[in-house]
Structure 1
């Protein structure tokens, strides 16, 4: 058996929500978790205090499926062809962000948000992608261990629920150390909860996002 790969064209789906007015906007782009959709991530972005002053973009993963509840969901990648999928996903994220920033009045400030599996995707978009970021917000997911030059994140907010079994405390602490070793002192939130946001998380995320308006 000989394995082959053939590049083809597929379409990706993303949602955009811009504030009223014509002044240049900062962009907050989000990456959802495993089995979620762009609507799920957009709903999360909307709940961050201060996000209404940003243009919001929720990017849906390229690999759709029907989840255990019979609802549509999507995945960023699996272990198979990992490096190939990473490259494809980063090109896709670059293309979406490039289109959104070209079509909206954009002030140059780009913040990425990732939840769970989307945290790895947000990290890759920031560190491998072609768009410079002002900051990265990661909830319930780690920074992929193979990534280096973490200084490209410029600023970071790391958050974890204290009962999150999918993102253990040791990995959370390791990510904090990695960022500090590269010269970034991240904003850190350990909130009471599991694998998902709470009101406490959104308050902390809002404080971090407020700081991004002055970067």
Structure 2
């Protein structure tokens, strides 16, 4: 007799980290880490944003699944999804991010602009979330990643043409995203009606403080 697969929706406790005070926020950044990272360490890179653009609040949600990076002990990382039961994991994190954003916006002054920045797997995560959400950020930053390819082209075009600003960032020696891959991604975004700003920097598969400060300056109020 074959076993039958079932689903049960259960409460989960999701963890996130925050820099700055939501009550006095002038702008909000929600930043999603890459595969195998933890939000507590990832958010440290964004201290330069808060320092460079006072009034910015940065929130780093953490993927719901955690694992040992090597073997059965030692350092732990988080992931947004794997190939196992992936559609369920995508729906779970989409609901998680929707709920988190609603809570954050309720604590901010009205009309605070939101920047979404995803690094590596975090960029795909934000893209899949936005394809399922009615929310549209003021600025979407895709960093060292590929836009999901297994999604409805019409939905992608509807999303990308309704985003006020999209930026694609990648280092020139990124071991995971080659220069040709960057060109393909930018062309893909353009084919779907987007007009992405493209920023490169000298470095690998990593965040870059100078670029973060550049982005924070762009998002500062006029």
Q: Match for residue 33 of structure 1? A: 34
Among residues 146, 164, 171, which one is paired with 2:181 in the alignment? 171
Cα root mean square deviation, aligned = 2.3
Q: Match for residue 60 of structure 1? A: 62
Could you list the per-position Cα deviations for residues 110-145 of structure 1 after superposition, in whole angstroms to 9, with x for gaps in the alignment? 100111111111222333323220011121111112
* Deviation for aligned residue 1:33: 0.9
Q: Match for residue 122 of structure 1? A: 126
Give the conservation status (yes or no) of the 8 Å contact 2:119–2:143. yes
Q: Match for residue 45 of structure 1? A: 46
Q: Is the aligned partner of 1:204 residue 2:205? A: no
Q: Is the aligned partner of 1:70 residue 2:74? A: yes
Instruction: Measure, in 1, the Cα distance between the counterparts of 2:33 and 2:110.
Output: 23
Q: Match for residue 8 of structure 1? A: 10
SS in 2 for 1:46: helix
Task: Summarize the alignment of residues 150-161 of structure 1 with structure 2, pairs less than 5 Å apart.
Answer: 150-161=160-171
Q: Which runs of 5+ in 1 are unaligned?
A: none
Give the conservation status (yes or no) of the 8 Å contact 2:30–2:58. yes
Q: Which runs of 5+ in 2 are unaligned?
A: none
Check 1:88–1:43 CA distance in 2 against 1; reply closer, same or farther (3 A cut): same
Check 1:180–1:32 CA distance in 2 against 1; reply closer, same or farther (3 A cut): same
Please report the TM-score for the alignment, with normalisation by the length of structure 2.
0.84
Check 1:51–1:70 CA distance in 2 against 1; reply closer, same or farther (3 A cut): farther
Could you list the per-position Cα deviations for residues 30-52 of structure 1 after superposition, in whole angstroms to 9, with x for gaps in the alignment? 10111111112211222347354
Could you list the per-position Cα deviations for residues 48-72 of structure 1 after superposition, in whole angstroms to 9, with x for gaps in the alignment? 4735431111100000122228122
Give the conservation status (yes or no) of the 8 Å contact 2:25–2:56. no
Give the conservation status (yes or no) of the 8 Å contact 1:142–1:175. yes
Give the conservation status (yes or no) of the 8 Å contact 2:46–2:212. no
Give the conservation status (yes or no) of the 8 Å contact 1:127–1:152. no
Please report the TM-score for the alignment, with normalisation by the length of structure 1.
0.87
Instruction: Measure, in 1, the Cα distance between the counterparts of 2:52 and 2:111.
Output: 16
Instruction: Measure, in 2, the Cα distance between the counterparts of 1:98 and 1:34.
Output: 25
Number of residue pairs the alignment of both structures matches: 211
Q: Match for residue 91 of structure 1? A: 95
